[in-house]
Amino acid sequence: MMNLKFSYRLLVATFFIAIGALSAGANAQNISKSVLGTDQIRAELLAHAPDGVGAGKTVWVGLQLTHQPGWHSYWKNSGDSGLPTTLQWTLPPGVTAGDIAWPLPLKFTLGNLVNYGYGGTVLLPVPLTITPDFKPSLLNSDMELKLKASWLVCREVCIPEDGEFALSLPVRGSTALNAAAFDASLKSQPTPLLGESRVELEGNTLKLSVAGLPSALQGQTLEFFPELSGVIETSAKWTQNWQGAVWTANVPLSGQRSQSPTLMPLVLAADSKGQRLGFVTQAKMVGTWPPVVAIQDLSPAPATALKANAGPGASAGGSALPLSLWAALAGALLGGLILNLMPCVFPVLAIKVMSFTKHADDRRGHRISGLAYSAGVLLSFVALGALMLGLRSMGEQLGWGFQLQSPAVVAALAVLFTVMGLNLAGVFHFGQFLPSRVLLLESKNPAANAFLSGVLAVAVASPCTAPFMGASLGLGLSLPAPQALLIFATIGIGMALPYLAASLSPAVTRRLPRPGTWMDTFRRAMAFPMFATVVWLVWVLGQQSGIDGAGALLALLVALSLVLWSFTLKGRSRVILATFSIALFGLLTGAIGPNVLKAAEATKVAASGERWQAWAPGRVEQVLATGVPVFVDFTAAWCVSCQYNKITLADAGVLADLDAKKVTLLRADWTRRDPAITAALSQLGRNGVPVYVIYKNGSAPVVLSEILSVQEVRSALASL
Strands (E) in 155-236, as ranges, are 158-170, 191-192, 197-202, 205-210, 223-226
CB hemisphere CA count around 17 (13 angstroms): 8
CB 222 within 8 A of CB 193: no
Assess contact for 75 and 225: CB atoms under 8 A.
yes
**For 277, which DSSP code?**
E
Q: What is the DSSP string of 518-563?
A: HHHHHHHHTHHHHHHHHHHHHHHHHHHHHHHHHHHHHHHHHHHHHH
DSSP lists the bridge partners of residue 430 as none
- Please tell me which residue, 349 or 319, carries the higher pLDDT value: 349
- If pLDDT is split at 50, 70 and 90, which confidence band does 348 have? low
Number of domain units in the chain: 4
Q: Is the pLDDT of residue 554 over 90?
A: yes
In a domain, 300, yes or no: no
Where does a domain end: 563, 596, 629?
A: 596
Phi and psi dihedrals of 167, rounded to 5? -150, 145
Q: Are 120 and 52 contained in the same domain?
A: yes
C-alpha–C-alpha distance, residues 67 and 535, integer Å: 43
Q: Does residue 601 lie within any of the structural domains?
A: no
- 697 class by beta-carbon count within 10 Å (0-12 exposed, 13-18 middle, 19+ buried): middle
Distances (CA, A) of 115 to 79, 111, 190, 283, 686: 4, 11, 18, 22, 25
pLDDT at 21: 43
* Average pLDDT for 210-227: 90
The mean per-residue pLDDT over the stretch 227-244 comes to 88
Task: Kindly state the DSSP code that residue 434 receives in the 8-state scheme.
Answer: S
Q: Please report whether residue 310 resides in a domain.
A: no
CATH of the domain at 245: 2.60.40
**6 band by pLDDT with thresholds 50, 70 and 90:** very low
Cβ atoms < 10 Å from Cβ of 631: 24
| Residue at 569 is within a domain | yes
Query: What Cα–Cα distance (Å) separates residue 134 from each residue in 53, 92, 94, 363, 467?
Result: 10, 7, 4, 62, 50
Do 363 and 489 lie in one domain? The reply is yes
pLDDT at site 403: 64
How many Å apart are CA 420 and CA 443, to the nearest integer? 20
Would you call the peptide bond into 312 cis, given omega within 30 degrees of 0 as the criterion?
Answer: no
Q: Is the distance from CB of 225 to CB of 177 less than 8 angstroms?
A: no
Specify whether the CB–CB gap between 84 and 194 falls below 8 A: no
Q: Are 366 and 359 in contact (CB under 8 A)?
A: yes
Count of residues for the chain? 720
Give the mean pLDDT of the chain.
Answer: 78
Phi, psi angles (nearest 5°) of residue 426: 90, 10
The mean pLDDT value for 425-446 works out to 60
15 and 65 both lie in a single domain: no
Percent of all residues in the chain with a pLDDT value above 90, rounded to a whole number: 22
Residue 634 backbone phi and psi in degrees, to 5: -85, 115
Dihedral sign, Cα of residue 390, residue 395, residue 400, residue 406? negative
Examine the pLDDT at 314 and tell me if it is beyond 60: no
pTM, entire model: 0.50
95-97 β-sheet, strand order: 35-37, 41-48, 59-67, 121-130, 95-97
Last residue within a domain, chosen from 129, 159, 189: 189
- Residue 499's alpha-carbon distances to 453, 505, 526, in angstroms, are 12, 10, 19
CB contact at 8 A, 484 and 389: yes
CATH number for the domain harbouring residue 662: 3.40.30.10
Report the C-alpha gap between 712 and 252 in whole angstroms: 34
Provide mean pLDDT across the span 315-328.
51
Q: What is d(CA 433, CA 574) in angstroms, rounded to the nearest whole number?
A: 13
Residues 55 and 71 in one domain: yes
- For residue 34, pLDDT over 50 is answered with yes
Average pLDDT of the residues in 538-567: 89
Question: CA–CA separation, 90 vs 711, rounded Å?
Answer: 50
pLDDT, greater one: 718 or 460 = 718
**In a domain? residue 296:** no
Q: Do 633 and 710 lie in a common domain?
A: yes
Q: 386 and 489 in one domain?
A: yes
Q: Which of 192-196, 338-342, 407-411 has the highest mean pLDDT?
A: 192-196
- Asked if residues 642 and 691 have their Cβ atoms less than 8 Å apart, the reply is no
* Residue 266 near residue 281, CB atoms below 8 Å: yes
Average pLDDT on 644-650 reads 88
Q: What is the CATH number of the domain that holds 94?
A: 2.60.40.1250
pLDDT tens across 371-382, in order? 888 888 888 888
User: Would you place residue 624 in the very low, low, confident or very high pLDDT band (cuts 50, 70, 90)?
Assistant: confident
**Residue of 386, 310, 335, 314 lying closest to 490 (CA atoms):** 335
- Lowest model confidence (mean pLDDT) among 270-284, 295-309, 527-541, 549-563: 295-309
Q: Which of 224, 221, 208 is nearest to 271 (CA)?
A: 221
**How many other C-beta atoms lie within 10 A of the C-beta of residue 352?**
19
Predicted confidence (pLDDT) at residue 165 exceeds the cutoff of 90:
yes
Same domain, 582 and 707: no
pLDDT confidence of residue 14: 47
Cα dihedral sign for 558, 561, 567, 568?
negative
Residue 601 has what pLDDT? 55
Task: Indicate the helix (H) or strand (E) that contains 127.
Answer: strand 121-130
Average pLDDT over residues 72-84: 88
Q: Which domain holds residue 182?
A: 35-189
Give the separation between CA 207 and CA 253, rounded to whole angstroms. Answer: 10
Determine the distance from the C-alpha atom of residue 534 to the mean position of all C-alpha atoms in its chain, rounded to a whole number: 24
Final residue of a structural domain among 537, 572, 596:
596
Highest mean pLDDT among 439-453, 525-539, 555-569: 555-569
Verify that 710 and 693 share a domain, yes or no: yes
- Is the pLDDT confidence value at 20 over 50? no
Q: How far is CA 593 from CA 401, 534, 548, 597, in A?
A: 24, 17, 10, 8
**pLDDT band per the 50, 70, 90 thresholds, residue 606:** very low
Tell me which amino acid residue 310 is: A
Decide if pLDDT at 294 tops 60.
Answer: no
Give 448 or 680, the one with higher predicted confidence.
Answer: 680
- Residue 27 clears pLDDT 50, i.e. is over it: no
630 residue type, one letter: V
For the ranges 115-129, 333-347, 428-442, the maximum mean pLDDT occurs at 115-129
CA distance 193 to 268: 10
**For residues 289-312, average pLDDT:** 46
Task: Look at residue 556 in the predicted model and tell me its pLDDT.
Answer: 93
Would 113 be classed as within a structural domain? yes
Q: Please calculate the CA angle 709-714-719 and round it to the nearest 5 degrees.
A: 135
d(CA 584, CA 595): 17
Over residues 475-518, the pLDDT tens digits come to: 666 567 788 788 888 888 888 888 788 777 766 666 666 666 77
Same domain, 54 and 88: yes
Domain match, 520 and 630 both: no
Burial class of 90 by CB neighbour count within 10 A (0 to 12, 13 to 18, 19+): middle
Same domain, 472 and 579: yes
Q: Are residues 178 and 229 in the same domain?
A: no
Per-residue pLDDT, 408: 84
Note whether residue 317 is domain-resident.
Answer: no
Domain annotation covers residue 304? no
